[in-house]
Amino acid sequence: MEFVMKLFSQTLIMILVLVSFGVAQAQITLHFLDRFTSCEILPTDAQPTTWSDGNHVPGPYFIDLDIDLEDHHLRTVHDTAVILDESTLTVSGSFLGTVSTDDPASIIYLMASANLIVHFTPMEPSTVALEVTIPAGGEVYFFDMTEWNGDFDHQGPGLFTLDDTLVAGHEYLFQVFYSVQVNPGGPQQGEESVTLSLTVAPGAVAAEAASWGEVKALYR
């Protein structure tokens, strides 16, 4: 009995040490991840129809929604990877969307879209390196949710880049969204694409790296 209790105590201590070690080693907390992809048609004589897919689990995610109707075609491809390896968070990938119609008078719109949201907290001072290329129908957000002090950006269309230092313990939100649409009064086909890359790692950027203010000034 004494041997069993001693073994139990040693096992419990080892578990606590391993748990403590794992917590100590986790330098980034991932609070929320959402990847959503959809195609939608709104006919003039019916309710909208939507085809969609979603994902909330870190790792690679690929979905190709390819919808062929009698006179309409919708396609959106979401190909991204969200990888968290204790001290580094990387997000990379692309979106691609195409829509077309041979009968524009029968629709109010066709739309293909994709959305990615990553909500995280670095547990020590970290760097962020961000590069996103978005179309006219695209938006990108990156801001400090803890202070909510205006560190929020909405860019489109074009290339958005950022190299900066993140505050330990602050919550940050990264979001990229795009949509491509066809309407009766416009072109009968459209195609848009997005490329994105985000890396968060321990450390600080060099003093000459771009600040939020410098990045915002470039896009005003």
Looking at residue 146, what is its pLDDT?
92
Convert the pLDDT of each residue in 73-98 to its tens digit. 999 999 999 999 979 999 999 999 99
Convert the pLDDT of each residue in 163-219 to its tens digit. 999 999 999 999 999 999 999 888 899 999 999 999 999 987 655 544 444 443 333
Structural domain contains residue 20: no
Structural domain contains residue 48: yes
Confidence of residue 110 (pLDDT cuts 50, 70, 90): very high
Please state which of the ranges 100-104, 120-124, 151-155, 177-181 shows the lowest mean pLDDT: 151-155
Domain residues for the domain of 91 are 28-219
Query: Considering its fold, how many domains does the chain have in total?
Result: 1
Q: Is the dihedral of CA 198, 202, 208, 211 positive or negative?
A: positive
The residue with tokens 């995280």 is: 120
d(C-alpha 128, C-alpha 162), whole Å: 7
H/E element, 159? strand 158-166
Neighbours of 17 (CB within 10 A): 10
Percent of the chain at pLDDT > 70 equals 79
Q: Quick one: which of 62, 50, 39, 41 has its CA closest to 179?
A: 39
Structural domain contains residue 126: yes
Structural domain contains residue 119: yes
Structural domain contains residue 6: no
Convert the pLDDT of each residue in 26-42 to its tens digit. 699 999 999 999 999 99
Structural domain contains residue 210: yes
pTM above 0.85, yes or no: no
